Structure 1
Amino acid sequence: MVPVASSVALKTAFSHTAIEPFFTGGSASVSEDQSLLVTTYGEDVIITDLSTGQRKHKIKGDTEQVTAVAISPDSKYVVICSRSLQMRIFQLPECKLVRSIKAHDGPVIVMHIDSTSTLVATGAADGVVKVWDLTGGFNTHTFRGHTGVISAVRIFGQKGGTRWQVASGSDDSKIRIWDLVQRKCVAVLEEGHVSVVRGLDFSRDGSLLISGGRDKVVNVWSLKNYSLVKTILVFEALETAGFLSSGTLTGKMSDQLIFTGGEKGIVKLWSIESGEEVTPEKPTIQTSEEVGVSDIIYYPSWSDLIAVLSDQTLVEHTLTSTDLPVVRRLAGNNGEVIDLAYVGPVDSEGIPKYLALATNSPEIRVISPGTQSSVVLTAHTDIVICIDASTDGLWLACAGKDNTATIWRWTPSGMEDADGNEHDGFQLYATFKGHLGSIGGVALARLVAQAGYPRFLITGSQDLTVKKWAVPKTADEPVEVAKPVFTKKAHEKDINSVDVAPNDELFATASQDRTVKIWSVEEGETVGILRGHKRGVWSVKFSVYDKLVVTGSGDKTVKVWNIRDYTCVKTFEGHTNSVLKALFISSGAQIASAGGDGLVKVWDVKTGECNATLDNHEDKVWSLAHRPDDKAFASGGGDSVITFWEDVTAEDLARQEEADAELAEKEQELSNYVFRKEWKNAILLALSLDHPLRLLNVFRAVIAENADNGSITGLREVDAVLSSLESGQLRLLLRRIRDWNTNARTSNVAQRVLNVLLQSYPPEKFLEVEDIKRTLDALVPYSERHYTRVSELLEESYIVDYTLRQMDEVLMTKIDEL
């Protein structure tokens, strides 16, 4: 018998919500009211509610990579261009395709919709700039003149205005100004750049044009005489540039500031008047990833701007000050979610506000599940493999391939650091260096409340050792710890997972050498070895309520071990690939396991039965995190999807009980109708309940009664009911007729009812029935068989008649002879 918590309701039904990837790099666009975000996702386009981060639409691609996408400022249209050379225009909110046309002879590289949402300009690899009517979807202008790929395009025009111009830049380093009224090129600006032009923008009054390029300069042009006014050295290759025109900032008037973004991955503000940068210099942390700004989305009516980064992240900066504080960060694609944990302070319902992710990168992402906004914690220089949270969620431990572990402390709003700056979020507390290989498992002390901080940290590494670290009691500044309390040779192969017991007396290590070891936290000595898995062990977790440990292995099994005698007490089989994570839920009465088969399974610890199989991932499920309120858990996988599984067993049971009560009531009502011979009501109710046998018996009773000789079924009232069925009822009845017709005993009922239907409805009515062809294909051969059988029976009846007549003649002859 496995000792588990008693009187615990098992979870058997789950609903789920998910954080899905919506951006894989490339083009992105936002409506002017900031309600909708449109992003490229491989061959598809995703439309997201920007306020909640929830997906609203997914527009399937045309099998080719999307090269440019834009949403009109008024949120009414989305324009998509791909390598298929097609430009597709969709109308919102229905997301209805209204036009699909061949746009250019080469892929569209850049696109811009004007502020009035009437025109869209496209620039393509064929060196041609085109302007299109957005509502009608037809081409209004075609401009040729560039000798290279169009790399930037911008429309200037105002509602009711007479001046409409398009500026385009190319990799020939030239900028051309096209007049839409005169339908020609009015200027060629060729003295300012020596490399690809990537950013173009008109000032609000249309008197100035700025251009930014990969030659690390921003040029300011006068559109009165098309001359170069100023050149600003920005010291980085630019991908975008624009006028900042949302009022005043640092005392500068609106069109005196411009923003730029490029290879350094930082949004910068510049003064046109002085040519100097006005944003303060920001420190950068060197990692193995180089992140740049690929675009900046901005409207003059906004008080913020959105930077699109090359790591598929969107960062919203507020324009309240020159240092451009980050107010929100959206991860378009989290990559492989290797590990996750609920962290941060809890809300009024006891649910932690955040989820920490290790996402196959040096960064740790802390996201808010409700808004999907995220904060990035950067301290590691290589991929973070594992994370662990304290029981109160206010401490976070991380470790990875840079051979180091870090601890982060939650700092509530209002607390000041050594520099007097206020912080709200996780701050680096300590760094632990000493391993000679990447760290595969990390675990914090569990009794945090007693000490006020986690007293120790356990790490296990590819260097085959396990280390215990003493965590500093106080740290005004991040502390670097280089000397562990102890270091022990633990396994013969890589250590994949580490966990600490709830009482802080034991810890466990799981390894590729197919064993799990139980250690004393105090002495650092092995107190037990768990043997039984046939492949490497990926996961180990203590139960909070019993002296049990659960493990998941590459041998596709989950095992529960009793740490009193270190024996295996249960083995769960059902996954078709390696079990990568396993943990206790439901107060220890159940286990959730995640596997390389993309499935999450929930097991009953006591009986060993699988209570639920949960499927919402398309790749390996690497991680699971149990929510402290025990009402949900989260899973993360290689498909970049994070799924939140919410227990709805009680609600599901209540709905089932209500449905059963309603069904019992209707079945009693049906019996009453049959008893009172209210055939019309009985037939309609039997159809609605979809009870084939009860419906068959009703028709049998009607046929047996045969109250009306002129009726096909035996009762004109029933014929009338069958002649007035709705499409859904007709579909159900035809399926029942199809089934009854396969049996000679019930074919009589089927043929009579079918006769009524064929005489009552025109062919068009039957064509409206869903899947009518399959139904008729099943009806025809059996009907032919019944017809043949009846015909043969009729022929045989003639022989009987003949025999009887002959017998009568013989009998009469004998009588005459007598």
Structure 2
Amino acid sequence: MVSATPATMLKTAFAHEAMEPFFTGGAASVCENQSTLATAYGEDVIISDLRTGKRLQKISGDTEQVTTLAISPDGQFLVVCSRSQQMRIFSLPSGKLVRAVKAHEGPVIVMHIDSTSTLVATGGADGVVKVWDIAGGSNTHTFRGHTGVISAIRIFGQKGSTRWQLATGSDDTQVRVWDLVKRKCVAILEEGHVSVVRGIDFSVDGSLLISGGRDKVVNVWDLKKYKLVKTILAFEQLETVGFLAPGTLSGKTEQLIFTGGEKGIVRLWSPTTGEEVTPEQEKIITTEEVGVSEILYFPSWPSLISVLSDQTLIEHDLASKDLPVARRLCGNNGEIIDLAYVGPVDDETGNSGFLALATNSPEVRVVSVETQSSSVLVGHTDIVISIDASADGLWLASAGKDNVALIWRWNAEDDTFKLYATFRGHLGSVGGVALSRLVEQNNGYPRFMITGSQDMTVKQWAVPKPAKGSSSGEVIEVAKPAYTKKAHDKDINAVDISPNDELFATASQDRTVKIWDSEEGEVVGILRGHKRGVWSVKFSAYDKFVVTGSGDKTVKVWSLRDFTCVKTFEGHTNSVLKSIFISQGRQVVSAGGDGLVKVWDVKSGECNATLDNHEDKVWSLAARNDDKVFASGGGDSVITFWTDITEEELARKAEEEEELVEKEQDLANFIFRKEWKNAIILALSLDHPARLLNLFRTVMTDHHEPGSVTGLREVDGVLSSLAPEQLARLLRRVRDWNTKARTATVAQRILHVVLVSYPPEKLLEVQDIKRTLDALIPYTERHFGRMTDLVEESYLVDFVLRQMDEVLTLKVEDL
């Protein structure tokens, strides 16, 4: 048989990887080697690889919201506390629960693990501070004295040191220092703050203590005299403070202080002069109020990680006092409304390495597919609902509910996009945007852009080139479109441009799709047939077809020659929200409100695959340049990458078929040579019930060795030495055979061997043993009853025969 070549093969099998949300706000923790990141995800905890951003495992919660968590510096333990007042200790990387104890009389608010990974300190809403042995799970210290909720906590101590101290802060504005060796409070620092203390830390040598709070100050305390030596005015409410290791920042030998708070930026301060070391910074995000809730740092790190209140983690490089952003991880992208592959095309792979996301927010996020690091494009003032990329990936268009469309240009220096032009003119939200496809023929610039709006009009915009002498960072303002056309009777949901730029299409809630001439802006065809609003329209790059997806739960393929529907695909149970062509136009991928992604054969109309990895509506689809992968994004904040493995799957099935033929021949040879042990084990592995039954029947009929239940001691020995998996498969067959009188004898004899050969504890290791035994018992009782009745009936036969013997004997004597 000649197999299909990859060029002609339809895609029917897909493997998937997912870019999943891992953070919903609250607590986050990293081990010292930065390999493991733990984040709160509602009531659960997500363990991720910080280097790649990929999820490693999910640790289920106790049905209550996580209040705080911490990974030990050595990465061996994870400690989690929730509103249930429970403290649970897990072993990593297995994620196995080691111990669970009730920690406090109220929720645990803050937690810290010492540098040796042996002690964990907890502070609760009950105003109590406790210290625990991590490995043993026992409470070693309990301190009372604060009159409010414990809001900051820190342990100081080193391996082999005799000095172990604990510093705590509370909303009673006090800072207390506790001696863990003497088990008492050694200092109350109560004259430094007038509001809740949110951050606290020891210097590397333990000579200084800093505390920061929502009173917008950082206090530096001398721990020899327990006196306030410096007050630094931060001019923002602080949520976290800490010491950098001496000499970490280039050009600075002293131990600097870092702070984070309501302004959403990380700042460095000199503890001696009280002056800020970092230059004036802009907030990383400007469209909403985002603050720094926590800063993760170890003295061995060349960088620090700030945790923002919008579930974003930002890694700052400490090589410069500017603290440049080295990496940005978004813990939760929110609802993904649209996506597109963007960025320069790699010379080796031929693919773009980034995804642009419209995430139900005013920002467009650009995410690296490989590392999941992201950047944020700020320009819109309301939710972005549509994006599109040029063919070369270097231009990005976005449009949203602010009635504005923006064009972004790739900046190779920053590996992200910079705002290039703004287009204003629509009177309603812009539901669809598309860039011209022939970028290369216009000296690298898009020729035009099409936008469709809630105001029921479609506009073509000429994309201007920068004026001579203008700066590269200047944003071009465009207020006048090339033309404006009244397009539909209801909202326009999507637009698309043909591969040759000659046509464009608009899809509307009025249940129609219109095909337009790009140059003249005139309608050349109307696609009618959908019974509800049309959410998606896409041109084929290889033939004169378009595909549409509608609220009537159908996908339709239309011919551009006569504007008729040539195929209708039915199978979704909710609205079809997106549809695209793949496989050189021979297949269609559709995504729906039912959370499913379906792959269709355009020629036959059959569904080749139904893909399920989303728990909410799937709004968006985008195919990679090489057509081997496509991505889907939905309301569950999950981006799934579907990779075509059809060729590999066909090769695997061919190998399995070939292997099966060989094994069946081996089985026939074993039976012919009467190698019962090999025959039974192979028949079990092949899972051939009929072959196995005939094998046992042959043994029981043709052989009768003394002391053997099955007829051959060799077979008894095989049945008594099976692995749990093999035994489970055999018992399932015995269960089936036991339901019929013709095969019950074989089943009962095998069951006899099993029950005699295996102790109860071994049988309990068998998968689904209870269910199997529950099915065996009633039929066994029925067979036993039938045999008992036969025995009783045999007594009657014996009686009749004896009576006949007596009669015959009497007649003989008479003679």
Normalized against structure 2, the TM-score is what?
0.94
Residues 285, 378 of structure 1: 8 Å contact kept: no
Measured in 2, the distance between the counterparts of 1:797 and 1:655 equals 59
Counterparts in 2 of 1:507-546, with a 5 A limit?
507-546=504-543
Measured in 2, the distance between the counterparts of 1:719 and 1:314 equals 63
Cα displacement string for residues 664-701 of structure 1 (whole angstroms, at most 9, x for unaligned residues) = 00101111222333333222211121100011111222
1:450 maps to which residue? 441
Three-state SS of the structure 1 residue aligned to 2:745 is helix
Cα displacement string for residues 746-782 of structure 1 (whole angstroms, at most 9, x for unaligned residues) = 2232223223333444444433322222222222222
Q: Which amino acid aligns with 2:736?
A: D
1:319 maps to which residue? 318
Measured in 2, the distance between the counterparts of 1:755 and 1:186 equals 74
Q: Which deviates more, 47-56 or 132-141?
A: 132-141
Three-state SS of the structure 1 residue aligned to 2:584 is helix
Give me the identity figure in percent: 75
Q: Which amino acid aligns with 1:736?
A: R
Three-state SS of the structure 2 residue aligned to 1:564 is coil
Three-state SS of the structure 2 residue aligned to 1:756 is helix
Q: 1:198 to 1:285 in 2, by over 3 A?
A: closer
2:415 maps to which residue? 424
1:466 aligns with 2:465: no
Q: 1:181 to 1:768 in 2, by over 3 A?
A: closer
Q: 1:301 to 1:246 in 2, by over 3 A?
A: farther
Cα displacement string for residues 175-214 of structure 1 (whole angstroms, at most 9, x for unaligned residues) = 2222223322222222222211112122222222222111
1:210 maps to which residue? 210
Q: 1:16 to 1:116 in 2, by over 3 A?
A: same
Q: 1:321 to 1:761 in 2, by over 3 A?
A: closer
Counterparts in 2 of 1:475-554, with a 5 A limit?
476=472, 477-554=474-551
Three-state SS of the structure 1 residue aligned to 2:741 is coil
Q: 1:768 to 1:279 in 2, by over 3 A?
A: closer
Unaligned runs of 5+ in 1: 414-422
2:591 maps to which residue? 594
Residues 596, 621 of structure 1: 8 Å contact kept: yes
Measured in 1, the distance between the counterparts of 2:678 and 2:132 equals 61
Measured in 2, the distance between the counterparts of 1:813 and 1:214 equals 120
Q: 1:529 to 1:811 in 2, by over 3 A?
A: farther
1:808, distance to aligned residue in structure 2 (A) = 10
1:310 maps to which residue? 309
Q: Which deviates more, 364-373 or 782-791?
A: 782-791
1:702 maps to which residue? 699
Cα displacement string for residues 283-331 of structure 1 (whole angstroms, at most 9, x for unaligned residues) = 4588542111111111122111100000000000001111111000001
Q: 1:124 to 1:713 in 2, by over 3 A?
A: closer
Counterparts in 2 of 1:392-407, with a 5 A limit?
392-407=392-407
1:221, distance to aligned residue in structure 2 (A) = 2.0
2:225 maps to which residue? 225
Q: Which deviates more, 676-685 or 342-351?
A: 676-685
1:156 maps to which residue? 156
Three-state SS of the structure 2 residue aligned to 1:651 is helix
Measured in 2, the distance between the counterparts of 1:817 and 1:118 equals 106
1:270 aligns with 2:261: no
Residues 127, 148 of structure 1: 8 Å contact kept: yes
Q: Which deviates more, 139-148 or 588-597?
A: 139-148
Counterparts in 2 of 1:621-632, with a 5 A limit?
621-632=618-629
Residues 264, 283 of structure 2: 8 Å contact kept: no
Q: Give the alignment partner of residue 610 of structure 2, picking from 609, 613, 630.
A: 613
Measured in 2, the distance between the counterparts of 1:131 and 1:284 equals 38
Residues 265, 283 of structure 2: 8 Å contact kept: no
Residues 287, 381 of structure 1: 8 Å contact kept: no
Measured in 2, the distance between the counterparts of 1:783 and 1:233 equals 84
1:664 aligns with 2:655: no
Residues 286, 381 of structure 1: 8 Å contact kept: no
Cα displacement string for residues 365-412 of structure 1 (whole angstroms, at most 9, x for unaligned residues) = 111122111111111121111111111111111111111111111122
Q: 1:270 to 1:704 in 2, by over 3 A?
A: same
Residues 398, 407 of structure 2: 8 Å contact kept: yes
2:113 maps to which residue? 113
Q: Give the alignment partner of residue 767 of structure 1, picking from 761, 764, 768.
A: 764
1:433 aligns with 2:433: no
1:675 aligns with 2:667: no
Measured in 1, the distance between the counterparts of 2:331 and 2:399 equals 24
Three-state SS of the structure 2 residue aligned to 1:659 is helix
Q: Which deviates more, 98-107 or 766-775?
A: 766-775
Higher RCO (CA-CA < 8 Å; seq separation 6+): 1
2:28 maps to which residue? 28
Three-state SS of the structure 1 residue aligned to 2:599 is strand
Q: Which deviates more, 693-702 or 755-764?
A: 755-764
Measured in 2, the distance between the counterparts of 1:377 and 1:481 equals 19
Counterparts in 2 of 1:103-142, with a 5 A limit?
103-142=103-142
1:809, distance to aligned residue in structure 2 (A) = 11
Q: Which amino acid aligns with 1:75?
A: G
1:219, distance to aligned residue in structure 2 (A) = 1.9
Three-state SS of the structure 2 residue aligned to 1:745 is helix
1:585 maps to which residue? 582
Measured in 2, the distance between the counterparts of 1:266 and 1:297 equals 14
Measured in 1, the distance between the counterparts of 2:159 and 2:45 equals 30
Measured in 1, the distance between the counterparts of 2:611 and 2:313 equals 31
Measured in 1, the distance between the counterparts of 2:558 and 2:246 equals 63
Q: Which amino acid aligns with 1:83?
A: R
Measured in 1, the distance between the counterparts of 2:637 and 2:127 equals 37
Q: Which deviates more, 125-134 or 806-815?
A: 806-815
1:95 maps to which residue? 95
1:128, distance to aligned residue in structure 2 (A) = 1.6
Cα displacement string for residues 705-728 of structure 1 (whole angstroms, at most 9, x for unaligned residues) = 235466433334333332333332
Cα displacement string for residues 776-801 of structure 1 (whole angstroms, at most 9, x for unaligned residues) = 22222222323333444555566777
Q: Which amino acid aligns with 2:257?
A: I
1:384 aligns with 2:384: yes
1:806, distance to aligned residue in structure 2 (A) = 9.1
1:276, distance to aligned residue in structure 2 (A) = 2.7
Residues 36, 48 of structure 2: 8 Å contact kept: yes
Counterparts in 2 of 1:405-420, with a 5 A limit?
405-413=405-413
Counterparts in 2 of 1:65-84, with a 5 A limit?
65-84=65-84
Residues 246, 301 of structure 1: 8 Å contact kept: no
Q: 1:287 to 1:750 in 2, by over 3 A?
A: same
1:180 aligns with 2:177: no
Normalized against structure 1, the TM-score is what?
0.94
Q: 1:139 to 1:719 in 2, by over 3 A?
A: closer
Residues 31, 74 of structure 2: 8 Å contact kept: yes
Root-mean-square deviation (CA), in Å?
A: 2.5
1:804, distance to aligned residue in structure 2 (A) = 8.5
Residues 636, 642 of structure 1: 8 Å contact kept: yes
Cα displacement string for residues 245-296 of structure 1 (whole angstroms, at most 9, x for unaligned residues) = 25153633232x2211111111112233433322222345885421111111
1:67, distance to aligned residue in structure 2 (A) = 0.6
Q: Which deviates more, 692-701 or 176-185?
A: 176-185
Q: 1:722 to 1:641 in 2, by over 3 A?
A: same
Measured in 2, the distance between the counterparts of 1:814 and 1:137 equals 95
Residues 499, 542 of structure 1: 8 Å contact kept: yes
1:329 aligns with 2:320: no
Residues 120, 134 of structure 1: 8 Å contact kept: yes
Cα displacement string for residues 331-371 of structure 1 (whole angstroms, at most 9, x for unaligned residues) = 11111111111111223111211111111111111111221
Q: Which amino acid aligns with 1:472?
A: P
Unaligned runs of 5+ in 2: none
Measured in 1, the distance between the counterparts of 2:553 and 2:560 equals 22
Residues 466, 476 of structure 2: 8 Å contact kept: no
Measured in 1, the distance between the counterparts of 2:654 and 2:39 equals 44
1:417 maps to which residue? none
